[in-house]
Amino acid sequence: MSLMIGRRTMPAPTVYPETRPFWEAAAEGRLLVKRCDDCGVCHYYPRDGCPFCGSVRTSWREASGIGTVYSFSVMRRAEVPYIVAYVTLEEGPTMLTNIVDTDADAVRIGQRVAVRFQSTVSGPPMPVFVPA
């Protein structure tokens, strides 16, 4: 028997000054990642300093919103079942997220997914992914 995964209620994220552009873009339906201006590597979760080379010269870049499922787990026993996953974006970083609007038994490692934005209780929308 398949399990259809919808969308669960999401709490609002904490918006810090250094992540405000990320959440403002999410409210516009755009996914941003940080890119190091020195080593050129994109990273997620947004932070001021590059986790790869330590530079503080970073800038925001709009991501394609397309990625690949790296790993996932289906939370079947939750009150509202959901899928937590690591998705590797085309730009390189891997982000922890949810897969929504799909049959839980159809999700596979290596599957292409696309970003969508899900409303939260009282804050900016959260990036989630659907099968591409």
- Looking at residues 51-56, what average pLDDT do you find? 96
Query: Of 26, 115, 10, whose CA–CA distance to 67 is shortest?
Result: 115
User: What rounded mean pLDDT belongs to the chain?
Assistant: 96
Quote the DSSP letter at residue 65.
-
- Report the percent of the chain where pLDDT is more than 70: 99
Question: Using CA atoms, how far apart are residues 6 and 32, in angstroms rounded to an integer?
Answer: 24
- Looking at residues 6-16, what average pLDDT do you find? 93
How far separated are the first and last CA of the chain, in Å rounded? 23
Omega before residue 70 within 30° of 0, cis? no
Residue 53: pLDDT above 70?
yes
The whole-number pLDDT of residue 2 equals 81
The whole-number pLDDT of residue 100 equals 98
The whole-number pLDDT of residue 38 equals 98
Q: Which residue has the tokens 């969508």?
A: 116
The whole-number pLDDT of residue 46 equals 87
Question: Using CA atoms, how far apart are residues 61 and 30, in angstroms rounded to an integer?
Answer: 10
- Report the percent of the chain where pLDDT is more than 90: 95
- In order of their start, the domains of the chain are 15-131 (2.40.50.840)
pTM of the model as a whole:
0.94
Query: Of 66, 131, 128, whose CA–CA distance to 104 is shortest?
Result: 131
SS3 content of the chain, % helix, strand, coil (to 5): 10, 40, 50
The whole-number pLDDT of residue 1 equals 67
The whole-number pLDDT of residue 61 equals 97
Q: Which residue has the tokens 């530079």?
A: 55
Query: Of 44, 67, 64, 71, whose CA–CA distance to 113 is shortest?
Result: 67
The whole-number pLDDT of residue 16 equals 94
